[in-house]
Amino acid sequence: MQRNPSPLLTLLISLVVCATLAADSLAQVTMPRLSYRDRTLPNGLRVLTAEDRSSPTVAIQVWYKVGSKDDPEGRSGFAHLFEHMLFKGTRNMKDEMMDRLTEDVGGFNNASTWDDFTNYHEVVPSNYLETLLWAEADRMGSLNVDDKNFKSERDVVKEEFRSRVLAPPYGRFFYAIEKYSFAAHPYRRPGIGSIEELDAATLEDVRSFHSTFYRPDNATLVVVGDFDQKQLDTWVDKYFGRVARPDRPLPRVTIKEPERVTEKRISESAPNVPLPAIALTYLTSAVKAGDAYALRVAESILSSGESSRLYQSLVYQQQIAQEAFAQADLREDLGLFVLGAILASEKRPEEAERSLLSELKRLQDAPVTAAELDKAKNQLVTNELRERETSDGKAFALARAAVLLGDATRVNSGIEKLQAVTAADVQRVMKKYFSDNNRLVITYQAETAKPQTNTGSGKKGGGR
């Protein structure tokens, strides 16, 4: 194990200090505040709006607080399958009419299903704003899918599964990370599902999912771009105000993920895998928690860019990995921190595991340098700034704060919190979460190279 920084890294660090002194106060990257209006309709719909007249377009997003973790039992992949269905017919719209209202007028639409929420978003020329508000309200209030459409779109989702999981050499690797990292919480079921459980879904499931989760008091509407506030408010009241709030309770996931008590190891294999891969996963704090900021800084120091610690050590110096990554995959109920590598040829997963562990230990043993901390913050803030170049990006930032973090004001205060992270904070979260007992190790290789002894149980953890 590598305890002390290598000569090259020492040299690097001293150079960084020089560079930092030369360019004054690099940490002071500032971010223009995003100002917005926040109101809630009597039926419970949250409405966030921000004017931006820089281009004659407008971004409309509707986020529903329902995600893959809400997949019905035995229906893994259902929330995502459902998301595709919401582009089929409604009371007032024919199949794919959303495309006629967006793509056909020079805009676009898309949607994505996450573990904790599902979002639907469009950007259109701003003279179409009222049309789109009508359309989003219409599909919130009604859904009209027939069996033929349902089956055909389910085939599309099965192809999506094949495109993401079966065809790419590392598709099953990332799938395994999702599948094995949680023992009890529904996060243990990959959001893309499986062919068998997608096949088990019925049209009745679709109807019931819509009436259970697609309701105004479970949704947030975000509009950013070129509009007149008063007129927008009138339209929102008119089209969304009439969507009824049901009096049924909203089901929520309450299952708690138990703490990990001992290291677990899983070995996966698949065809057409040219180079082995390895991942270490750790359970961490939820996305709302204060530790999230320090975890994001740690993620950046480990893996953002070619000056990052994992790239410098595993890819550049030791040449163990073709690619190395760290990801703070922080979710609503708890977080997952993943470190991993796709190996360079002739290298073995054990070598990468040793190096990844040694990089974690370095972060636990000594505080990061001021220069490294500043760099990470500059990268994170500049990335946020890039996201906010467009109305669509601003709408995402606003919606994430409101829906995932439960506090819209964090669209601004989150940046300040990030800027306030100290080297001691980073060291503290590294010590707190990255213990041996909190580790899952997944190794991945070509089917033919599968070792005879499989140390992992290979099955998902317990639970309901």
Residue ranges in 433-452 that form contacts with other proteins under rule CB under 8 A: 447
Residues 6 or more apart whose CB falls under 8 angstroms from that of 58 comprise 123, 124, 125, 126, 128, 129, 132, 223, 224, 225, 226, 227, 391
The distance of closest approach from Cβ of residue 321 to other proteins in the complex, given in angstroms and rounded to an integer, is: 9
Amino acid at 120: Y
Q: How far is the CB of 43 from other proteins (least distance, A)?
A: 19
Q: Which is nearer to other proteins, 179 or 439 (CB)?
A: 179
Residue 140 binding other proteins, by CB under 8 A: no
Using the rule CB under 8 A, give the single segment among 117-125, 213-221, 291-299, 361-369 that binds other proteins: 117-125
Sheet with 277-284, edge to edge strand ranges = 264-270, 439-446, 277-284, 335-343, 321-330
Site pattern 293..332 for other proteins (x: CB under 8 A):
-----------xxxxx--xx--xx--x--xx-x-x-x---
| Closer of 267 and 269 to other proteins (Cβ) | 269
Among 110, 208, 234, 413, binds other proteins (CB under 8 A): 110
Is 203 near other proteins (CB under 8 A)? no
Quick one: 217 or 327, whose CB is closer to other proteins?
Answer: 327
6 is a contact residue toward other proteins (CB under 8 A): no
* Short-list 198, 227, 185, CA closest to 59: 227
Please identify, using beta-carbon distances, which residue of 217 and 323 lies nearer to other proteins: 323
Residue 51 contacts other proteins per CB under 8 A: no
- What lies within 8 Å, CB to CB, of 410 at 6+ separation is 401, 417
Residue from 189, 264, 388, 400 touching other proteins (CB under 8 A): that is 388
For other proteins, what does the binding mask look like between residues 20 and 49, x meaning CB under 8 A?
x--x--x--x--x-----------------
Asked if residue 135 binds other proteins (CB under 8 A), the reply is: yes
Q: Which of 45, 62, 66, 101 binds other proteins (CB under 8 A)?
A: 101
Rounded Cα distance, 309 and 27, in Å? 19
- Span near other proteins by CB under 8 A; candidates 36-44, 110-118, 203-211, 256-264: 110-118
According to the binding rule CB under 8 A, does residue 369 interact with other proteins? no
Quick one: which of 84, 215, 309, 362 contacts other proteins (CB under 8 A)? Answer: 84
Please state the closest distance from residue 144 (CB atom) to other proteins, in A: 11
Q: Which of 218, 267, 284, 391 is the binder for other proteins (CB under 8 A)?
A: 391
For residue 127, the minimal CB distance to other proteins (Å) is 4
Query: Which residues between 275 and 294 bind other proteins (CB under 8 A)?
Result: 275
286 or 385, CB closer to other proteins?
385
- Cβ proximity to other proteins: between 10 and 437 the closer is 10
Which span (108-116, 203-211, 251-259, 450-458) binds other proteins, by CB under 8 A? Answer: 108-116
| Min dist. Cβ of residue 403 to other proteins (A) | 13
232 counts as binding other proteins under rule CB under 8 A: no
Round to whole Å and give the CA distance between 121 and 384: 19
Residue from 330, 313, 353 nearest 444 by CA: 353
Considering only residues 147 to 186 of the shown chain, the ones binding other proteins according to CB under 8 A are: 151-156, 158-160, 162-171, 174, 177-178
Residue 366 binds to other proteins (criterion: CB under 8 A): no
